[in-house]
Structure 1
């Protein structure tokens, strides 16, 4: 089934979902994002309004990882590999969020946003993966080449409605694929996984009308509770998730690729901090930054602004470098690794 045919048959395939109506998945409240009238202005800004520091002018620090290091790491460990790609070790198994390892977050590898840094470990060097947790189908979160490379060494793929069908179309064994609607949960490999709401959109081609669902995730295992936001604008759903499933030991919340023009689908840094508070999180680890140039702000800005707002609100913030080991229960306090070195 192609993406087009997936869309064509989706009316019957997903009609049971409260999120599906009028031929596509919908947010309960239409979010603020550019419409057709704003599109020319936005494209002009992307073409001619980029700041000088949109990309780093020196190589970013990356701590290389080996398979042996990962296998020897204790349960309850976390490693940030890039953008929204995080490796968690829970209950003796490894879990990957939104694995993107390609050079570009793009449908083609000769154009599009290019990585600022290499991943701390290659796909081939990764140990067997218990599960891959996917938030939605955008290219900076769903990397087809990475999925196919991981298919043989991964036991489970957990995804929102429709994204799982896409994986099966690409050749992933259907037995491995588990796709959930909002508020549905599954127990796999010793973990409890709950698909929770987010405020975003989907599609891997122009003019796609939200053919697949987007979600955030509650991840529970080893006596720890982690929240992964995927992509989302700020909305009252965070408070409901916090009331139902909080408190969280650690929240992985997006903070990057934002702009006031599309704040309904990507949070501003102060909203990232508020979402963490709504979720009743203990430590905040901001993701969706430091790997690709996807917006109109400097590459360091998300780290700086979220640090300022976290300090103002009394939020415990951790900002590990890429490849740095983190104990989920006791993360290290933030160090400004993104600032220029003397």
Structure 2
């Protein structure tokens, strides 16, 4: 009898955790589903990719993965925290017709285009596993405090709702700095659950486009998935972004496996001055949703991008490769394929035409 009481208590606690933990974001309603049903990517139950996308998540594979997580784990993260260059407010505010950006590790980028400050996937929290028993700590320290240094923002953009891109603590701290949110279809319900007015949020389906203060913004396809809990897998969309002005064009691939989408985006909206391309957190088991570094270089080429900026690395140990492997493989392939690259230090302000090409990671262990 005692066992049954304890079991019932555990089940109730688990159900309460799933239903009331704010980390999971907003729940899907009938109204949401009616909205999603207007998308060609909604199959009646979930969002789907343009091509069949499968991952090896069998029981045997997961057991092997867990074992590997504890093998040579010291190589998956730097021995010391990766330093972040202080934000140079004067340089950021200085008038320039050229785009600027600051990369804060992983996929966090502050972009300036036509004088507008746009923040993309601002996961600045210390841990990508806030609901898990084990922490997945960031390679840099005190990153939430960076938000205090940021300028007032014109817009925040979100590619999808995974924890390494959408962070509750970061959103709470950013709310007072921005009035405009552009997000993947289905992500608005999370922001609304966290206190952001629906009037401030615009959701995008693939190829949706709008003009924002002289900047054309388009949400583009990628090959990935979404979800924050046990019951909302693929219940919101995922993708990338294209920013165009009369003089500049920038592509953000978003998280993706190898895909024809890059070539399609290049044909429809390219060529691009810059392409921010995912190059890390890959594994054979989930190759369909995270491309290898060599494929990332090909994505830049396929999309007709002049300069590739590798992202989705130097932030968290979300796979089994060493923390330097993504950038080292990416740079080697880029050299072979004659693809130009930009490799800024974390926190460094980059101005178009003055792209950084140093190999700063080689100074760290």
Q: TM tier, shorter chain?
A: over 0.9
Q: Give the whole-Å Cα distance in 1 for the aligned partners of 2:291 and 2:254.
A: 11
How far, CA to CA, are the matches of 2:233 and 2:139 in structure 1? Answer: 31
Q: Does 1:315 align with 2:339?
A: yes
Closer/same/farther in 2, CA of residues 169 and 341 from structure 1, 3 Å limit: closer
Flag the 1:175–1:278 CA change in 2: closer, same or farther, 3 A.
Answer: same
Could you tell me how far 1:158 is from its partner in structure 2?
Answer: 0.5
Q: CA deviation at 1:50?
A: 4.2
8 Å contact 2:26–2:192 — kept in the other structure?
A: no
Query: Of the candidates 264, 267, 277, which is equivalent to residue 243 of structure 1?
Result: 267
Question: How much has 1:207 moved relative to structure 2?
Answer: 4.6
Q: Deviations over 1:102-145 (max 9, x none)?
A: 11112349842111113496112211100111100000001122
1:42 to 1:4, Cα distance in 2 relative to 1, 3 A:
farther
1:161 to 185, 189, 192: 185
SS at match of 1:202: coil
In structure 2, distance between residues paired with 1:306 and 1:143: 27
Task: Pick which of 151-160 and 103-112 moved more.
Answer: 103-112
The unaligned stretches of length 5 or more in structure 1 are none
Match of residue 127, structure 1, among 125, 135, 151? 151
User: Is 1:28 aligned to residue 54 of structure 2?
Assistant: no
Partner of residue 330 from structure 2, selected from 291, 302, 306: 306
Structure 1 residues 259 and 8, CA gap change in structure 2 (3 angstroms): farther
- Aligned-residue CA RMSD (Å): 2.3
Partner of 1:107: 130
Partner of 1:327: 351
Please show how residues 268-283 of structure 1 align to structure 2 within 5 Å: 268-283=292-307
Distance 1:199 1:309 in 2: 22
DSSP 3-state at the match of 1:238: helix
1:212 and 2:236 matched: yes
Equivalent in the alignment of 1:86: 109
Q: Over alpha carbons, which structure has the higher Rg?
A: 2
Relative to structure 1, the CA distance from residue 326 to residue 284 in structure 2 (aligned partners, 3 Å threshold; closer, same or farther) is: same
Match of 1:293 in 2: 317
Question: Higher strand proportion, which one?
Answer: 1
Greater Cα shift, 208-217 or 58-67: 58-67
Q: Is the 8 A contact 1:249 1:329 kept in 2?
A: no
The equivalent position to 1:143 in structure 2, one of 157, 163, 167, is 167
d(CA) in 2 for partners of 1:208, 1:86? 27
Q: Take 1:53 and 1:73, find their aligned partners in 2: how far apart are those partners?
A: 42
Give the TM-score taking structure 1 as reference length.
Answer: 0.93
**2:40 pairs with one of 18, 21, 29:** 18
Q: Which has the higher helix share?
A: 2
Q: Structure 2 CA distance, aligned partners of 1:243 and 1:321?
A: 31
- What is the aligned residue count? 341
C-alpha change, 1:328 and 1:106, in structure 2 (3 Å) is: farther
- Displacement of 1:168 in angstroms is 1.8
User: What SS class does the counterpart of residue 345 from structure 2 fall into?
Assistant: coil
Cα drift, residue 41 of structure 1: 3.7
Alignment deviations for residues 136-176 of structure 1 (CA, whole Å, 9 cap, x no partner): 00000011221222222213110111012321222112221
Task: State the alpha-carbon separation in 1 of the partners of residues 363 and 354 from structure 2.
Answer: 27
C-alpha contact (below 8 Å) 2:219/2:240 kept by paired residues: yes
| Correspondence for 1:193 | 217
Q: What pairs up with 1:262-273 in 2 under 5 angstroms?
A: 262-273=286-297
The answer to which of 291-300 and 30-39 deviates more is: 30-39
Gaps of 5+ in 2: 1-18
Change (3 A) 1:265 1:45: farther
Residue 337 of structure 1 corresponds to which residue in structure 2? 360
| CA distance, structure 2, for counterparts of residue 109 and residue 25 of structure 1 | 25
Given that 2:26 and 2:190 are in contact with CA atoms closer than 8 Å, whether structure 1 keeps it comes out as no
Distance 1:279 1:5 in 2: 36
- Superposition TM-score, scaled by structure 2 size: 0.87
